[in-house]
Structure 1
Amino acid sequence: MHHRLRYRAHIDGLRAIAVLGVVLFHFGAGWLPGGFVGVDVFFVISGFLISKSIYAETTEGSFSIFGFYERRMRRIVPAFVVVSAVTAIVAVFLLFPPQLVSFARSLIWSALAFGNVYFYRRADYFGPSAEEMPLLHYWSLGVEEQFYLVFPALVMLCYRWRPRALPFVIGGLLIASLIACEAVLRVDPAAAFYLLPFRAFELLIGAALALPGVRFPKSAAVGGAAVAAGVGAVLAGMALITEQSPFPGLLALVPCLGTALAIWGGEHSDSLVTRLVGSRVPRFFGAISYSLYLVHWPIVVFARPAFPEIDPLAFLVGGTAASTLLGWLSWRFVEQPVRQNRAIFPRRVVFGGTVAGAAVLIAFAGITTGARGFTGRLPADVQHVLAQTHYPFQPILRDGKCFLRDGRGGARELAPECLPVPGRPAIVLWGSSHLAQFYQAVAAAAKARGYSVGQFTGAACLPLEGFRNVPSPLCDGLNEFAMDWLLKHKPAMVVLGGDALVSPDHLARLDATIAKLTAAGIEVVVLGPVPMFKRPGPEIVAERMYRRDADMNAGHDMDDMVFTAEKLMTQHFAGHPNARFISVLKATCPQMRCPMMVGGEPLQYDARHFTAAGVDYYARPLAALIFGGNHAGSPAAAAAP
C-alpha cells in the first residue's frame, strides 16, 4: 500500500521560489543573475519527498517498484508528452532545418530520460547556442529520472542486508558526489553541470534529511528562524551567484543547504514565516511549478527571434505571464486528471500511455532527422546553400595524404607528393587544417613563380616544436618530422598557421620554432586566424536568405576567439625580427566584416573551413601576399562587397 505523504504548504512555497527564479532568469531578469539555482532547490525537494515515501514503505514492507514508477509516471509523463508534442509542432514551423534536426535529436534523448547526456555533449547552458534549443531545460529531468532508476534499489538492498548502514551509504555517496563535482568542475565544467554523478549530492541532501531518526524542531521560534535563514540563503544564491561563478561544486551548497534548512524548520513547527512561505500565492505557483517549468523555456526560445526588437521589460513580464497561463492550463487539464482520476487512468493506462507517448515522440524525431529537418519546405536557392554543410572537403585539404587525422596516414610519414620537388626553390606549409585549405591557391601562385610546394599538415596540429596535443597525438610525430626535414633541406620559405595560437605559451613556442628556422636561413611567414563562425556558415547564410536579410557579412556570428587571436598575434608580431605576419582578416575582410557568401555560393562549409568558392575568395589573395603582395592591392580588397 502506498504511503501517502501529508501536504506541506511551505514546500510548495519553496517550489514557487525555485520555479520563479528559473523563469525570471530565463526571461532576462538581470537583477536575479543566479535564478538558475532554482533547479538545485527542486533537486533537494525531490530528494526529500520521494525518499521519505520510499523509506516509509520499505520499513512497512509495502514498497513496490511498479507502484513507485507508476507514481513517477503519473507525475512526470503526461505534461512531458503534451508539452513536448506541442513544442515539436511549433518547432516544425519556426525552426530552420538544422535547428529542427538538433531539436529532434534532443527529443529522442529526452524521451529516453537521457536529455542531460545529449546536452552535455552539445550545449553550453549559458552560451548563445542555448537559446536555439527548445528542450534544453529537460536536462534536469534526465538527472532526476536517472537518480530514481538507481536509488530505490539501493534503499531496498540496504534495508534487506544492512538497515543501519543506510545513513552511512547515503552520507558517503553524498560526500563522494560533492567532491567529484568540485574536482570535475575544474577540468570539465559541462560534465559537472549536466551529469548525474556530479549532481547526485543535491538529491542526496534531500534524501539524508528524510532519513528515519532525523529530528525536526517543534518550537515555532526555532522552526521559523530556520525557514527564514533557509529561504534567505536560497534568495542570496539567486542574487549573488552568476553565470561566471564556478557552479555547481561547493557553491551549490548555498541553495541546497538553504532549501534543506527551510524544509527542516517547517516540517513540524508552525510559525509566521512558515505560514508566509506556504501562503496562497506561493502555493499556487508551487502547485503548477512542474508544468510552468516545462512550458517556459520553449516560449523563451521561440519568442526571441519572433520579437527581436521587443522591450526587455515587456519580454520579462509578457513571457512570465504567458508561461504562467500555459503552465496552469497544463497543470489543470493534463497533470491533475491523470494524477487524481485512477478510474479513468488505471495503472495499465499509465504504463501503456507512457510507452505510447514516448514512441510517438521518438518516431516524429526519427522522421524529422531522416528528412534533415524537412529541407523541402525551403526555396531551391536556400536548399542549395544549406546542402553545402555536406561539402566534400577532402580534395581541398588533400585529406589522408598531406593532411593527417587520427588513424589516417600514420603519425609521422606523409605521402611522397606532399614533399617539394627536389632541385627547385621550395615553399612548405606547416600547420593545421586552417593552413591546409590554402594549399591549392599557394601551389598555383608558387608554380607561376617557379616554386615547388610541400604540405605538412594535420588535424589541430599547431606548428610548434615540443608542443604536445593530447586530443590529436599524431601531431607529435608530424611536428618532429617537419622540423627535421626543414632543417635538413632548408626550403626558401616556410608558412606557419594554426587554429588556436592564442596563448602566451603558444606564442613563446612559436618564437622558438621561428628562431630555429631563421637560423637555418629559412624565411618564415606566419598567417593570422581565418574567419570562424559560431556555427556552420551555410546555416547562417541560408537563414538570412530565408528571412530576406541581404547582409551576408559575418557580423555578430563571428566567433569571438578570432578577434582575440587576431589582436594578440598582431601585437606580438609588430616589428618581429624573424618572421613576417600576414593578417587574413585585414587582407580579405573589409572593416573586419568577413563575407560568408559570394556569387550565390557559401564560402565555408562548416564554422571554419572553406569551400572551393571560399578558397578562391580568401586563399588566392593571401597567396599573392605570401609571395610579396600587399594588402591594398589584393584582389579581395578590390572585389569585396
Structure 2
Amino acid sequence: MTLTAERPGVAGYAEKGLRHDIQGLRAIAVLAVMLFHMNKEWLPGGFVGVDVFLVISGFLITSIILDRKESRKFDLLGFYWGRLKRILPACYVMLSAISTLAAYLFISKDFEFYTDSLESSLYFTSNQYFSGFGDYFSPSAHELPLLHTWSLAVEMQFYLILPFLLAWLPLRWVKVMIPTLIVILTAYVECVLRVKGQQQEMYFSLLARAPEFLIGSMVAALRLGEVWSSRFSSFMGWAGFILLASSLFFIKESYGFPGVIALIPCVGTALLIASKNNLLSRFLSLTILVWIGGLSYSLYLWHWPVLSIMRYYVGHYSLELPWLMAFVLMTFATAWLSFRWIETPFRKVRTLAAGGKKAAMLSLGVFPLVFLSGHVNSHVVDPVPTELTRYASQSEICHGKIIGNCVRGGGGDKPPALLLGDSHGAQLNHFFDVVGAANKFNVRIITGSSCVPIVGFDVERLPKWAQSACLAQIDAAKAFIDSSDAIILAGMWQYQTQSAAFMAAFDEFLSSANAQGKNVLVMAQIPMFASNLLRVQRFGSLGLPVTVESNNEWQQANAKIAKITDKYPSVSFVDFSSSAFFRARHLEMIFCFIRIITTLMRWARAIMESLLYRFLKSLSFECWW
C-alpha cells in the first residue's frame, strides 16, 4: 500500500499512489466547514468536517510511517521535516497577512486579544488558549480571526506523539494499542470531562480529539478494506456515506462534541477511506472535488479569517448576499495564491539547505509584519481618550470583586443607598460621584459582569469565567441589603429578561423589599446600539464607510421590567430613554466631539514633534559649531 500525504497540484492528479477519493473527501470536509461557518442553519453539522480532516490525517501519517518502516526507509527527522514544510509556511504567511489587516481595523482592546491568540498560534498551542478563552470585553467567537487554528495546533501536537509509538512498537502491538486507546480516551471524555462540565476544554482538548486521529490510524494499521470484495466494499462505503451525511445534516453543536457522538462521522469517514473502487470512490474522484481537495489546507487557513474580519467590520454574524459572495471569491483567491506560491514551492523542497534558504526568505517577509503590527495598531489611528472607552477602571470599582467599601458620592449624614446591577449598574460609579457630591449623599455600588447580585440569580447561565465572581458579589451584597433603606437596581434588561428564572428572582426581590418598606428605584435600561461605537469611530477615522444601527430590544425589556415594578407601591421605575441625550442627533454630536478631541490630539502631537525636531537640530548645530 503506497500512499502520500501530500496534496497534489492541479497537474499532478495522475501521479502514482495518490488517492483521488481521499482528495475528494477533503473537499467535502472543507466545503462543509465553510458552509457551516457562513451560516450554522444551512448545514447544522458542518463543523464535523474538521473531524473528517483529523481521521484522514491519522490514516495518512500512519500509512506513511508503517509502509516506510516495513521497507526500512522510515526516517523520523525526515517525517517531521515533511510535516513542518507542509504546514508552517502557508500558516505563517496567513498569520502575517491577517496581523497586518487586524492592526489597521481592530480597536486596541480587541487587538490585545488578537495578539494573545497570535502568540499561541505561532507556537501551535492555540487549542489551549481558546479552551480557557472568555472575557466580558472580548470579541464574540465569530470575530476571532485565529479561532480556527485550534485544529492545526491539535494536529501538530498529535504529530509529536504518534510517530514515536508507530516507529518503535511492533506492528502486532500497534494493532492492539490503537483500538485500546480509542476506547480509553473516549471513556475519559465521557466519564471525566463531560461529567465535570468542561465542555469548552473538552472541545479543544488533544486527548478528546485523539480518538478521531486514531480511527484513521486503525484503518491503516489493520489494512481495512484490503481484502474486501467489491460488493462488500461498496456496502461499507455506502454505510460510511450514510453515517457521514447524517452527521452533517443532523448533529448539532448543542449535542456536546466530541466524545461518543464524534464516533459517528469519524467511523463514516473511516469506512469511506477503507472502501475503494466503487461508485462512491469514483464520485469523490471527480476532477472538481480533487481540485478543491488540493486546495483544502489553504481554504481552511484563509476562509475563517476572511469571514471573521468581514463580520467584525459589519458588526453582525449574519452577512448579506454580497458579503457572502465576496467571502467565497476572496477565500478561493487567497487559497489558490497560497497553494500556488507557498504550499507547492515548499512541498517540492527536498533538502534542508534548500528549505533553509526558502524559509529565510519567507521569514524576512513574514515575521517583521507580525512583530510590527502592534506598533501599527497604536499609531494608525489616534487613540480615543480613555474616559470615552469604558465606564470606569476595573481596579477602582466593586465590579466582580470587592474593593474597599464600594462607596461613591459626596458624603452626608445618611447611610449610603445600595446599588445592585450588572455592567449597566457599574457605569453609574462616576455618575454617583458627581451627583452625590452635589447633593451630599453616598451610594454603595456592588455589580458583576452580566450578573445582577440578588438572591436567586441564575448564575449557571453565565459564561464560566463570570460565575464565581457573580456568586461572590451576591454573597457580598447580602450583608447590606437588610441594612439599606434605599436600594437601586440597574441592569441590561434586554439580556436579563430572557431568563424566566431571573424574572422570578427579580419579582421575589421586589416583593420582599416592598414588604420591608424599603424604597426601591429600578432604572430603565438605557438605549442600546447594534453597532460597536468604538469600532465605528475607528473605521470612520480610516475613511471606511460606517453606519450606526440602533437596537430596539431594550424597549421591550424595559416594558417587562416596568410591568413588574408597577405591582409594588414602594418600587419606582425611572426611565431616561426619551432624553435628548440618546437621540440620533445627539449621537452625531458625540462623534463630532470625539473627532474634535482626536484632531486636537493629532495637532498637539505634530506640534510637539516639530518643536522636538527643531530643538534637536539646534542642539546638534551648536555641537558642530
Asked whether the two chains share a fold, i.e. TM above 0.5, the reply is yes
Which residue, out of 509, 513, 518, partners 1:517? 513
Q: 1:56 to 1:438 in 2, by over 3 A?
A: same
Would you say the 8 A contact 2:400–2:469 is kept in 1? no
State the shift of 1:46 in Å. 0.7
1:464 partnered with 2:454: yes
Aligned residue runs from structure 1 range 371-520, under 5 A: 371=375, 373-378=376-381, 383-385=382-384, 388=387, 393-394=392-393, 399=396, 403=398, 406=401, 408-409=403-404, 414=405, 421-422=412-413, 424=414, 427-432=417-422, 434-442=424-432, 445=435, 452-460=441-449, 462-465=452-455, 470-472=468-470, 474-486=472-484, 491=485, 493-498=486-491, 501-502=496-497, 503-520=499-516
Aligned length: 568
Q: 1:101 to 1:158 in 2, by over 3 A?
A: same
Partner of 2:232 in structure 1?
222
Greater CA drift, 588-597 or 505-514: 588-597
1:453 and 1:375 mapped to 2: Cα distance?
38
State the shift of 1:278 in Å. 1.8
1:425 and 1:65 mapped to 2: Cα distance?
74
Would you say the 8 A contact 1:429–1:495 is kept in 2? yes
Which residue, out of 542, 555, 563, partners 2:550? 555
State the shift of 1:262 in Å. 0.6
Structure 2 counterpart SS, 1:485: coil
State the shift of 1:45 in Å. 0.7
Deviations 1:263-290 (CA, angstroms, capped at 9, x unpaired): 1212xxx223322322333222222221
Partner of 1:618 in structure 2?
none
Greater CA drift, 253-262 or 230-239: 230-239
1:216 and 1:48 mapped to 2: Cα distance?
14
Partner of 1:639 in structure 2?
none
Aligned residue runs from structure 1 range 128-147, under 5 A: 129-130=140-141, 132-147=143-158
Would you say the 8 A contact 1:419–1:455 is kept in 2? no
Q: 1:445 to 1:77 in 2, by over 3 A?
A: closer
Q: 1:437 to 1:547 in 2, by over 3 A?
A: same
Would you say the 8 A contact 1:464–1:479 is kept in 2? yes
Q: 1:201 to 1:538 in 2, by over 3 A?
A: same
2:133 and 2:151 mapped to 1: Cα distance?
15
State the shift of 1:42 in Å. 0.9
Would you say the 8 A contact 1:35–1:238 is kept in 2? yes
1:303 and 1:434 mapped to 2: Cα distance?
29
Would you say the 8 A contact 1:435–1:496 is kept in 2? yes
User: 1:385 corresponds to which letter in structure 2?
Assistant: V
State the shift of 1:78 in Å. 2.7
1:393 and 1:192 mapped to 2: Cα distance?
35
1:205 and 1:240 mapped to 2: Cα distance?
22
Which residue, out of 285, 292, 296, partners 1:289? 296
Structure 1 counterpart SS, 2:396: coil
Structure 2 counterpart SS, 1:514: helix
Deviations 1:337-381 (CA, angstroms, capped at 9, x unpaired): 322341xxx135546866885797455333322x2x434333xxx
User: 2:504 corresponds to which letter in structure 1?
Assistant: A
Structure 2 counterpart SS, 1:13: helix
Partner of 1:543 in structure 2?
539
**Identity in percent:** 27
Would you say the 8 A contact 1:466–1:476 is kept in 2? no
1:54 and 1:602 mapped to 2: Cα distance?
61
Aligned residue runs from structure 1 range 97-116, under 5 A: 102-116=113-127
Aligned residue runs from structure 1 range 41-440, under 5 A: 41-57=52-68, 63-91=74-102, 102-122=113-133, 129-130=140-141, 132-155=143-166, 159=170, 165-176=176-187, 178-179=189-190, 183=194, 187=197, 189-212=199-222, 214=224, 216-241=226-251, 246-266=256-276, 270-301=277-308, 319-342=327-350, 346-350=351-355, 361=366, 363-369=368-374, 371=375, 373-378=376-381, 383-385=382-384, 388=387, 393-394=392-393, 399=396, 403=398, 406=401, 408-409=403-404, 414=405, 421-422=412-413, 424=414, 427-432=417-422, 434-440=424-430
After TM superposition, the score normalised by the length of structure 2 is: 0.74
Greater CA drift, 473-482 or 81-90: 81-90
User: 2:574 corresponds to which letter in structure 1?
Assistant: I
Would you say the 8 A contact 1:192–1:248 is kept in 2? yes
Structure 2 counterpart SS, 1:15: helix
Q: 1:211 to 1:565 in 2, by over 3 A?
A: farther
1:598 partnered with 2:603: no
Structure 1, unaligned stretches of length 5 or more? 604-641
Which residue, out of 560, 564, 568, partners 1:572? 564
Structure 2, unaligned stretches of length 5 or more? 6-16, 460-466, 596-625
Q: 1:67 to 1:99 in 2, by over 3 A?
A: same
Q: 1:320 to 1:421 in 2, by over 3 A?
A: closer
After TM superposition, the score normalised by the length of structure 1 is: 0.73
1:440 and 1:81 mapped to 2: Cα distance?
45
Structure 1 counterpart SS, 2:268: helix
Q: 1:466 to 1:30 in 2, by over 3 A?
A: closer
Structure 1 counterpart SS, 2:194: helix
1:93 and 1:440 mapped to 2: Cα distance?
32
Structure 2 counterpart SS, 1:149: helix
Q: 1:567 to 1:169 in 2, by over 3 A?
A: farther
1:334 and 1:405 mapped to 2: Cα distance?
47
2:221 and 2:585 mapped to 1: Cα distance?
61
Deviations 1:40-61 (CA, angstroms, capped at 9, x unpaired): 2111111111123334455666
Would you say the 8 A contact 1:436–1:455 is kept in 2? no
State the shift of 1:84 in Å. 3.4
User: 1:283 corresponds to which letter in structure 2?
Assistant: V
RMSD: 4.6
Would you say the 8 A contact 1:537–1:596 is kept in 2? no
Q: 1:436 to 1:581 in 2, by over 3 A?
A: same
Q: 1:211 to 1:317 in 2, by over 3 A?
A: same
Q: 1:8 to 1:515 in 2, by over 3 A?
A: same
Structure 2 counterpart SS, 1:200: helix
Structure 2 counterpart SS, 1:429: strand
Structure 1 counterpart SS, 2:469: coil
Structure 1 counterpart SS, 2:521: strand
Q: 1:534 to 1:204 in 2, by over 3 A?
A: farther
User: 2:444 corresponds to which letter in structure 1?
Assistant: Q
2:227 and 2:326 mapped to 1: Cα distance?
41
Would you say the 8 A contact 1:217–1:223 is kept in 2? no
Greater CA drift, 195-204 or 210-219: 210-219
Q: 1:523 to 1:319 in 2, by over 3 A?
A: closer
2:355 and 2:388 mapped to 1: Cα distance?
42
State the shift of 1:221 in Å. 1.6
Q: 1:265 to 1:521 in 2, by over 3 A?
A: same
Q: 1:466 to 1:117 in 2, by over 3 A?
A: same
Deviations 1:535-590 (CA, angstroms, capped at 9, x unpaired): 86433333345447686x5525x9x6x56754542443343455223345456775
Q: 1:53 to 1:583 in 2, by over 3 A?
A: farther
